[in-house]
Chains A and B, each alone.
Chain A
């Protein structure tokens, strides 16, 4: 009697432990076709607040050796700190698959990695897309940039504002132009914004905003520029 109990108890405990969390495994999709290459169609380099669902889905295309889209190929998505829905998909008739991305809670850069298996177990093809999450400071910077800066620093026009970019010589730098701006230190950027272009021997077309913006607001604009820099900005590299 006692012995039987000694046998039943661990079995019961084992059963209890394994039923604690019903494993939520998504049904595995089976690819009907394979491609050799995966490329971005749209949805990379979006900018949004932390935790936000991105406005546009990320759309990828799986191509075969002939460069045409491969329908029913398997694409799996992953990304540290990201919520990706669905986690895997089969490509549609044109060889495309899309995923809705929700950013994580930490400001900074997130990578969406999309993979597709190559034919005959020949490994996987992969593409990585960058997405940018803005924290409080960068959001303040974006708001200020939208009001005071973009009309000259962004060549795109909208119904509310016509871009002044083309009227200026030398042309202004885009705030995302990491190739130029990553090399300029925070101290110098503060000088240009606060005291105008001539403070660093540059064009007076950039007026001085030091009386208009508070120091914290200038810092916020710089934080925003750093956040959207392409190629990405790294504080160590700048030093």
Chain B
């Protein structure tokens, strides 16, 4: 190899960034969006007074948190075909990640809903709002403020966890890195370069989190 490591890093930069833009980031956004829908549903089920419903939600959370994400990915991508369900890498990854995020975020959302004082529900009821409207207009906006820091954690973890999708053949950033490294034999340099790009993405997300927190704090005494 006549090429210097510096040249390699420059040459591999765009393929890695493209892996992030076309793989890591859309995979994260789609999984998080779906995961939040699942999380809200599971959180509300968990808070249900109907015992069967809350039990189902509890079991869901227990299974998701009690099994490795990598195993969940393998079950969906390599396991389901043996019972006739064959999914492409992308749908497999999105399903696995959103199920996983849904389990963790459900607990965050449940706690955030419980943190809103009971008097807020009563104030909604006394102006004759339905439970659903009270939840949507009164409770969830206040719960959102509380849940932004822990949900940001979940989101940032998800960005990094999407690298696991490389093992089910999704060409996200880390899979790109593996291919470049294997070809160039410069494992150290290429993997550190990939790590640096993950870090930058997470820095941007942390900054976004601070801005969102400031915005949601505008109605709170300081």
Q: Do A and B bind each other?
A: no
Q: Which residues of A contact B (CB under 8 A)?
A: none
Interface residues of B (CB under 8 A from A): none
